[in-house]
Every structure is written in structure tokens, then in C-alpha cells.
Amino acid sequence: MEIIYQDEVHFQITTSVTRTWAPIGKQPKIKSKPGKASVPYSGYVSPRTGRLVMTEVSWFTFETVIASIRDYIKKMNTSFKRHLLIMDNAPWHRKAERLIRELDEYKDIRDVLDIEFLPPYSPDLNPIERVWRITRREKTHNKYFGSKEILKDTLDGFFADFSVSNEKLSSLCQSKHK
């Protein structure tokens, strides 16, 4: 059985300054786009293989969760008959899981994966949180994006490198508690 972790994330167009160098007594000037525009994604990561599957979504609802699960199923490794999908306790995840479990129209999802939930308030147990952290560190912190399209292109290029099994993501997502 393949274990997969899922989560959603917003990457903001507003510049986030984490570290910068400036001469003593000088305030650095950082270019930043005003507003709260963002690019939302739903992501799936396999700690075993280091493979990342990303789906851009419009917002976080049970409908987008179900659509992204189906997108993941299309792209998944078929060498495993069953997949265990682990999600957090967001209300849209709970509703999606209930509908998948109860309605015949979601039999295609039930046929290939089971859904389990992390304990409440435990994002540190979800390895995909590490993917979000490294994405921000390497691609969005201290960077200026003139538009959502530039931000999206930057992120899509970064995520494309992880769409095939790779050691970097696998080691990042492996449990430290073996």
C-alpha cells in the first residue's frame, strides 16, 4: 500500500521578507506588490518515492478536494493496488471523505484509495508541510512577483521538478522518528 499525504496551500503574491542584508542603520527597501492575490494549490506527496502531484484549484471546498483526488488518481503510480490518503481535519476534507464513502458516484475513488485523517492540530505530522516550507524558502521569500501569472509560472516550474520520483523530496518528507 502506498501512503500519500495531501494538503492545500496559498502562495501570496505579496513579498515575504525572511532574511536580508543591509548596512547598519539603513532600512532596506523591498519591492512588493500590494494586495492579497494568491495562487491556491492542492498537493499530494509520497514520502517513499518523493513524488509530488500538484493541482491548481480555485478555492478550498469539498468539490475541489474531490476533483484534485481524481486528478491525483490519474497521475498516480499504478504499481500499488491501494493507496492510503492522509489529510488534515479541514471541514472540506471531512465532507469530501463522507461523500466519497457514501455515494455511488465516487466508487472510482473508493476502488483505489482509503482516506484517514491526522490527529487534530498536528500539521507537523504532515510531510507536505515541509514541501510548502522549502517552496517558500527557495522560490517565494524575498522575491518580487509583478503578477499572479509570474508567481504561478515560478511555482509550476519548481513543482514540475518534483513530479517524478526524486531523492531530495523523499529525504525531506521521510519521518525523523524511525
33, pLDDT greater than 70: no
113, pLDDT greater than 90: yes
Torsion of CA 122, 1, 135, 148, to 10 degrees: -100
Cell numbers representing residue 148 in the block: 499572479
- φ, ψ (nearest 5 deg) of residue 13: -75, -25
What's the pLDDT band for 176 if we cut at 50, 70, 90? low
Alpha helix (H) residue ranges in 31-178? 62-75, 91-102, 107-110, 128-135, 148-160, 167-173
62, pLDDT greater than 60: yes
Range in 43-57, 61-75, 141-155, 161-175 the model is least confident about:
161-175
Mean pLDDT to the nearest integer, 70-96: 89
Mean pLDDT to the nearest integer, 161-172: 86
Contacts of 80 (CB under 8 A, 6+ apart): 1, 2
32, pLDDT greater than 80: no
| The pLDDT of residue 117 | 98
Domains of the chain: residue spans and CATH: 2-12+36-171 (3.30.420.10)
Question: What is the rounded CA–CA span in Å between residue 91 and residue 98?
Answer: 11
- Percent of the chain topping pLDDT 70: 90
| The pLDDT of residue 83 | 93
Mean pLDDT to the nearest integer, 88-111: 96
User: pLDDT tens-digit profile of 142-158?
Assistant: 888 888 999 999 999 99
178, pLDDT greater than 50: no
Distance of CA 44 to the CA centre of its chain: 6
Closest CA to 53 of 75, 31, 36: 75
Closest CA to 51 of 141, 122, 133, 127: 127
What's the pLDDT band for 177 if we cut at 50, 70, 90? very low
What's the pLDDT band for 4 if we cut at 50, 70, 90? very high
